[in-house]
Amino acid sequence: MKQGARLLVGTAVIAAVLSLASSCTQCPEFHTPTDGVAPGATPLELSIPPFFPPMDIPAHNPLTEEGVELGRLLFWEKTLSQDSTMSCGSCHLPERSFAEPTAFSTGVTGEVGSRNAMAIVNVGWARNYFWDGRAPTLEDQAREPVPHPGEMNLAWEVAEQRIAANPLYPPLMMDAFGSEQVSEDRIVMAIAQFMRTMVSAKSRFDQWRKGEIELTDEEFLGYELFNREGGDPEVVVGGEFGADCFHCHSEAGLQFSDYLAHNNGLDSVFSDMGVGAVTLSSLDNGRFKTPTLRNVELTGPYMHDGRFETLEEVVDHYNAGGLPSETIDPFMKYTTGGLMLPDVHKAALVAFLKTLTDPSFGENPNFSDPHE
């Protein structure tokens, strides 16, 4: 039977789960920018890939050609850092699907962070940004790295002055927002516009979904395992059951993430409380946002602390079942000795994950550094 005839339509995101924002009692202060687009700005009609849902673009910050151009320049603008050596692109490298090859980022002061830089890929479909979901919008996410002492370490007042003093930017502010005024809000709005255009949808998986290619037998087996329930190894042994990936990395929407927070059994005792540090609720300790699996072959090391170097190590972790704690996700198999997938099934699962790689994404000239 042809693989296309057996194609799963997708899986539903777990119902009745409250969003992080609804439970957050100690979240940072965020606000909706009040600046609007310039009357003469050119609307940018983003091409939505086949099978993708519409992108939820905020009414106060619609995509315009002028805003996206400005945002691209600001994404790569090093004067937004204390010593003018670091931009957003310094920790989000194109060849790594706009992630980073090290476990932790190093800021301009030499301070090493405590979390891995998340990949910037299809973020226009995401929600609740950062590993702990503390930023409810992409604009809020773009606002934080500039003044963060462990990252770019530059007060927004100084950042505004530097951008305003650069003759390149005031005219672009005019084109995008209707006046030459430079503000924190306008900077983050432009960067958010640019990041929403960073769409990846040219992987082997996407080609398969469109009927352009066939997956190999190993890749398709991995796909089936990905979307199949895990079994109880005390009852059935030998890999007859699946890998249970789809519960958190849902194929629905084709981003391979439910964008919710889970404790996937990395630790029994937490050195990083994750969402719990934001909500101050013990029920959230050790929970972190589910990252997208798109381009996952390129975005290692893996997990919030970069503890796993390879996809094989990640699969081994889930296969072992994880470490128990009070908040561990009920889909983890720590109570039954793990998934107990045989080596051939683990290899198939990795083969499928690699079909999500889109080599053209990081090579897209529209996302490259325009200052070079």
- At residue 282, φ and ψ (nearest 5 deg) are -65, -20
Number of C-alpha atoms within 13 angstroms, CB side, residue 153? 16
- CA-closest candidate to residue 271, choices 320, 304, 222: 304
pLDDT score of 231: 64
Sorted by where each starts, the structural domains of the chain and their CATH numbers stand as 3-12+204-356 (1.10.760.10), 44-200+361-367 (1.10.760.10)
Instruction: Answer with the residue of higher pLDDT: 331 or 29.
Output: 331
pLDDT score of 14: 30
pLDDT score of 340: 86
Rounded to a whole number of angstroms, the CA Rg of the chain reads: 21
Of the pLDDT bands very low, low, confident and very high (cuts 50, 70, 90), residue 8 is very low
Contact 169, 179 (CB under 8 A): no
- CA-closest candidate to residue 339, choices 227, 265, 266, 241: 241
> Whole-angstrom Cα distance, residue 144 to residue 251?
30
pLDDT score of 134: 97
Of the pLDDT bands very low, low, confident and very high (cuts 50, 70, 90), residue 268 is very high
pLDDT score of 38: 86
> Helices 311-320 & 343-354, crossing angle to 10 degrees?
130
For the beta carbon of residue 313, count every other beta carbon within 10 angstroms.
Answer: 14
Of the pLDDT bands very low, low, confident and very high (cuts 50, 70, 90), residue 266 is very high
Mean pLDDT of the chain: 90
pLDDT score of 116: 96
pLDDT score of 304: 98
Rounded to an integer, the average pLDDT of 202-222 is 97
**pLDDT at position 278 over 50:** yes
For the beta carbon of residue 263, count every other beta carbon within 10 angstroms.
Answer: 24
Q: What is the DSSP track for 265-317?
A: SS-SS-SS-BHHHHH--GGGTTBEEPPP-TTGGGS-SBTTTT-B-SHHHHHHH
pLDDT score of 32: 57
Instruction: Answer with the residue of higher pLDDT: 52 or 253.
Output: 52
Of the pLDDT bands very low, low, confident and very high (cuts 50, 70, 90), residue 326 is very high
N residues, the chain: 372
**pLDDT at position 29 over 90:** no
Rounded to an integer, the average pLDDT of 106-124 is 96
pLDDT score of 338: 87
213: burial class by Cβ within 10 Å (0-12, 13-18, 19+)? middle
- CA-closest candidate to residue 14, choices 327, 329, 281: 329
Of the pLDDT bands very low, low, confident and very high (cuts 50, 70, 90), residue 102 is very high
pLDDT score of 31: 54
**Burial state string for 156-195 with b = 16 or more CB within 10 A and e = fewer than 16:** beebbebbeeeeebbebbbbbbeeeebbbbbbbbbbbbbb
- At residue 302, φ and ψ (nearest 5 deg) are -110, 160
User: Dihedral, CA atoms, 303, 87, 82, 110, nearest 10 degrees?
Assistant: 40
Of the pLDDT bands very low, low, confident and very high (cuts 50, 70, 90), residue 35 is low
Rounded to an integer, the average pLDDT of 305-328 is 96
Percent of the chain with pLDDT over 90: 81
**pLDDT at position 363 over 90:** yes
- CA-closest candidate to residue 327, choices 271, 288, 290: 288
> Whole-angstrom Cα distance, residue 62 to residue 141?
17
Long-range contacts of 170-173 (CB under 8 A, 24+ apart): 172/66, 172/69, 172/70, 172/73, 173/70
Of the pLDDT bands very low, low, confident and very high (cuts 50, 70, 90), residue 202 is very high
pLDDT score of 240: 61
> Whole-angstrom Cα distance, residue 372 to residue 370?
5
Query: Residue 178 is encoded by which pair of tokens?
Result: 């209707």
Supply the DSSP symbol for 119: P
Rounded to an integer, the average pLDDT of 237-260 is 85
pLDDT score of 28: 45
Output the CA–CA distances (angstroms, integers) from residue 66 to 62, 88, 193, 310, in the order listed: 11, 19, 10, 40
pLDDT score of 337: 80
The owner of tokens 């190590």 is: 313
pLDDT score of 36: 77
150-168 tens-digit pLDDT? 999 999 999 999 999 999 9
**pLDDT at position 236 over 90:** no
The letter for the amino acid at 32 is T
What is the number of helices (H) and of strands (E) in the chain? 12, 2
Maximum C-alpha span of the chain = 70
Q: Any bridge partners for residue 289, and if so which?
A: 261
41-82 tens-digit pLDDT? 999 999 999 999 999 999 999 999 999 999 999 999 999 999
Q: Any bridge partners for residue 274, and if so which?
A: 287
93 by DSSP, 3-state: which? Answer: strand
Of the pLDDT bands very low, low, confident and very high (cuts 50, 70, 90), residue 333 is confident
